[in-house]
């Protein structure tokens, strides 16, 4: 449990801008993340979504789970569509054609739609400085099309296009560090979040929506179906991802790094990996390789935080 008063949950709005009745799998922590983000952003939000799990399960014509305006165009252009919506609304308000009010612009995509096919549009939108929030829901593979690997799939994970075979043990490249790529654009706010820490997530999304200019939030979304773990453990798995240092929760505000959830001694990565069928083929040697890498990356992050850089 995060270090806040457990009753803080009662302060979160009861409004559901992402309605029940969506077609996500049982125990989908990504759907939970979307639900929490919708609560954080509130009624005055326009969402531009990429193709992906969340788009498919929430918009089968003629139905929709969205109680805020929502548009889907294609797979790689959530950031570009959001840029257009933001610019269009900005001009309409400037020319007095619609009343001036604060509207949040949200671009949302999965890890495939962000770190692979969507990287160009994201980079362009961040560079142009649109006043919007980009949220990457990272379930670490192209889950919607059947669990194929992406550049966000962690080292050693088995996916349908990086299967654990006799010669190659699953994914052999390391997860692309999207938050760092976003931070390298010198945008005012970057954060990592996980729905296992709901108050932290909501606070970060609220902050991201509130700042002027582009903000990037990277949300680890546990996928019981694709990661091969029982649905009821989805929240626990996210917690272990944070406690092992594999997915540290931090934010970068105007270039200054800080942890938002401080972990004392890191939990051994084995606790996290052994929960999931996608890592079940890993031997102790590979787990050790992962542990060493996690320690190294975590150390680098800690340095950045200590430097106040």
Partner 1 sequence: MAKTKVDLSWQELEIGAVVTNAGNASEYRTGDWRSLRPVWDRDRCVKCGICYIFCPDAAINETEEGWFDADLYYCKGCGICANECPTQSIKMIEEEE
Partner 2 sequence: MGNRIGLEVSLSAAEAVKMADVDCIAAYPITPQTHIVEHLSELVNDGQLDAEFIPVESEHSAMSVCAGVSAAGARVFTCTSSQGLALMNEIVHIVASMRLPIVTILANRSLSGPISIWNDHTDVMSIRDCGWIQVFVNNGQEVFDHVLFGFRVAESQNVMLPLMIHMDGFILTHVIEPVEMWEKEQVERYLPPFKPVHSLHPDKPVTMGGVGMPYIFSEAKVAQDEPLIQSKGEIISAWKELGDIVGRYYNPVETYKSDDAETLFITQGSYGETVSMVVDELRDEGKSVGLVMDRLWRPFPFDEFREAVKNANNLIVIDRAISYGGQGGPLAIELRAVLYKTKNQPNITNFICGLAGRDVTVDDFKRMYERSMEKIKTNPLEEDYEYYGVRGK
CB neighbour list of residue 43: distance below 8 Å, 6 or more residues apart: 15, 17, 68
**Bridge partners, 133 (sequence order):** 106, 215
Please name the residue that has the structure tokens 């799990």.
53
The CA–CA distances, whole Å, from 86 to 34, 184, 196 equal 20, 22, 30
**Partner interacting with residue 80 (select from partner 2, partner 1, none; CB below 5-8 Å by kind):** partner 2
| Residues in contact with partner 1, shown as a per-residue x/- string from 235 to 274 under the rule CB under 8 A | xx--------------------------------------
**Is position 234 an interface residue for partner 1 (rule: CB under 8 A)?**
yes
Choose between 208 and 275: whose C-beta lies nearer to partner 2: 208
Choose between 11 and 61: whose C-beta lies nearer to partner 2: 61
Name which of 239, 233, 141, 140 is nearest 193 in CA terms: 239
Name which of 124, 23, 42 is nearest 76 in CA terms: 124
Cβ contact 106:47 at 8 Å = yes
**Is position 225 an interface residue for partner 1 (rule: CB under 8 A)?**
no
**Is position 280 an interface residue for partner 1 (rule: CB under 8 A)?**
no
CB neighbour list of residue 80: distance below 8 Å, 6 or more residues apart: 121, 124, 125
Determine the interface stretch with partner 1 among 61-69, 79-87, 280-288, 297-305 (rule: CB under 8 A): 61-69
Choose between 56 and 199: whose C-beta lies nearer to partner 2: 56
Please name the residue that has the structure tokens 């089968």.
60
| Residues in contact with partner 2, shown as a per-residue x/- string from 199 to 238 under the rule CB under 8 A | ----------------------------------------
CB of 297 to partner 1, least distance (A): 28
CB neighbour list of residue 292: distance below 8 Å, 6 or more residues apart: none
Distance of CA 100 to the CA centre of its chain: 30
Question: b/e for 236-259, b at 16 or more Cβ within 10 A?
Answer: ebbbbbbbbbbbbbbbbeeeebee
**Is position 60 an interface residue for partner 2 (rule: CB under 8 A)?**
yes
Candidate residues 13, 16, 26, 43; the one interacting with partner 2 per rule CB under 8 A: 43
**Partner interacting with residue 1 (select from partner 1, partner 2, none; CB below 5-8 Å by kind):** partner 1
**Partner interacting with residue 55 (select from partner 2, partner 1, none; CB below 5-8 Å by kind):** partner 2
Longest dimension (CA), the chain: 65
- Please give the residue ranges that form the binding site for partner 2 (CB under 8 A): 43-46, 48, 55-56, 59-64, 66-74, 76-77, 80-92, 94-95, 97-98, 103, 120-121, 123-124, 127-128
């Amino acid at each position: 449990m995060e270090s806040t008063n457990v009753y803080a949950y009662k302060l979160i709005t009861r409004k559901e801008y992402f309605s029940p009745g969506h077609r996500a799998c049982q125990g989908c922590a990504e759907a939970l993340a979307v639900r929490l983000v919708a609560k954080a952003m509130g009624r005055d939000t326009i969402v531009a979504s990429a193709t992906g799990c969340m788009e498919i399960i929430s918009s089968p014509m003629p139905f929709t789970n969205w109680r805020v305006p929502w548009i889907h165009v294609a797979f790689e252009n959530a950031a570009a569509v959001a840029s257009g919506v933001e610019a269009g609304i900005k001009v309409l308000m400037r020319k007095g054609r619609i009343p001036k009010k604060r509207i949040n612009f949200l671009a949302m995509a999965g890890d495939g739609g962000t770190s692979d096919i969507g990287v160009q549009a994201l980079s362009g939108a961040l560079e142009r400085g649109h006043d919007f929030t980009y949220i990457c829901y990272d379930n670490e593979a192209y889950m919607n099309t059947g669990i194929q690997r992406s550049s966000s799939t962690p080292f050693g994970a088995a996916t349908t296009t990086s299967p654990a075979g006799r010669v190659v043990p699953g994914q052999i490249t390391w997860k692309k560090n999207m938050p760092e790529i976003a931070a390298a654009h010198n945008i005012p706010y970057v954060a990592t979040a996980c729905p296992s820490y709901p108050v932290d997530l909501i606070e970060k999304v609220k902050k991201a929506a509130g700042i002027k200019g582009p903000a990037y939030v990277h949300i680890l979304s546990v996928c019981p179906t694709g990661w091969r773990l029982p649905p009821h453990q989805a929240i626990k798995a996210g917690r272990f991802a944070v406690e092992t240092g594999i997915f540290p929760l931090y934010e970068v505000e105007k270039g200054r790094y800080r942890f938002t959830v401080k972990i004392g001694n890191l939990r051994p990565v084995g606790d996290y990996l052994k929960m999931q069928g996608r890592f079940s083929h890993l031997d102790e040697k590979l787990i050790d390789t992962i542990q060493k890498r996690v320690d190294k990356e975590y150390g680098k992050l800690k340095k950045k935080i200590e430097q106040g850089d």
